[in-house]
Amino acid sequence: MLEDHMSVLHIGNRLLLAFAIPLFFCASEVPWVRCERNLNLETMSLEELATIASDPSRNNDLRWQSTRELARRKDAWSIPILICLLQDDYQPVRGAAAWGLSQVGGEEAQNALLEYLRASVKSKTGPDLASATDAEKELPDKRAVDLLIRCLGDVGNPRYPFVRSYAAEALGKIGNPKASLPLAQQLNIEIDYVNSRDFWYMEAIRTTKGAGATPILVEYLERLVQKMAGQDLSHFTTNIGSEYRQTEHNFRMYKLTLAALEAVTGRKSLTGTREDVAKDWKESWKREHGKHTPRRAPPARSD
């Protein structure tokens, strides 16, 4: 019985190869496939690229590549074309158009990207949110602060965690203090170094300098120091492995948390052990604001 079963599989595999191999080689002889493969986008004019990118009857992958090539040229002539492509039915084309507008720059491009971000936030479409926030970090717009803050929260699609990272980076470049507290509320020390986005949030807090983030930062520092008890990078004989990477991440976040605290409060950190530094920040907050009741960050999430 087993031998019969194996022989049937053997015959099936031979039949599959008999049909698949000729199809593979013949595909290159299909006129439109051969034509599309032979196109050299780098030598094309802007008008030719725009024609291909805007033609829905062409191969979608080719249209996406043409849009990317338009973007790489960084020519203001392509702005109206890229703005139109933000409405394309194929998302990779929309994303490439957004990236292109962020590279060209200018008021017209900023206005179009703001509307693209607004529409993406409304639809909560993950790929479009990623493209829109990525474009905003490349071409920051002060008018986008409230929309970017929304991208930090429930609008951010868990399947596209970089939406929050891009939004944080954009907010950091804009530098509006109102973003500091929403950024701090995203901090979560329980997430490991692989999935943590705390670096981006903390870096943005450092540049937005909103005092509202202080209590969360003080608590974050205290819990981080507890987590780092006994940790020392000099104890490792090699700089590879998950334990080393986690320890390295902790030290990196410790320095960045102190930098963020100094930025939002305007005072310098104490020179001493990690425990003494954390204690000093906590007592300083208590002296200035009474009972230490920080607004805790939300529970751990997978992204």
**What average pLDDT does range 227-232 have in this prediction?**
90
State the Rg of the chain over Cα. Answer: 26
Inter-axis angle of helices 162-174 and 145-152, to 10 degrees? 150
User: Can you read off the two tokens belonging to residue 17?
Assistant: 């190869």
Q: How much is the pTM?
A: 0.81
- What are the tens digits of pLDDT across the range 95-126? 999 999 999 999 999 999 999 999 999 998 88
Handedness of CA 89, 92, 97, 99 (dihedral sign): positive
* Overall CATH class of domain 44-174: mainly alpha
**What average pLDDT does range 161-187 have in this prediction?**
94
Per-residue pLDDT for 238 more than 90? Answer: no
Query: 135-174: string of b/e by CB count within 10 Å (b at 16+)?
Result: bbbbbbbeebbebbbbbbeebbbeebbbbbbbbbbbbbbb
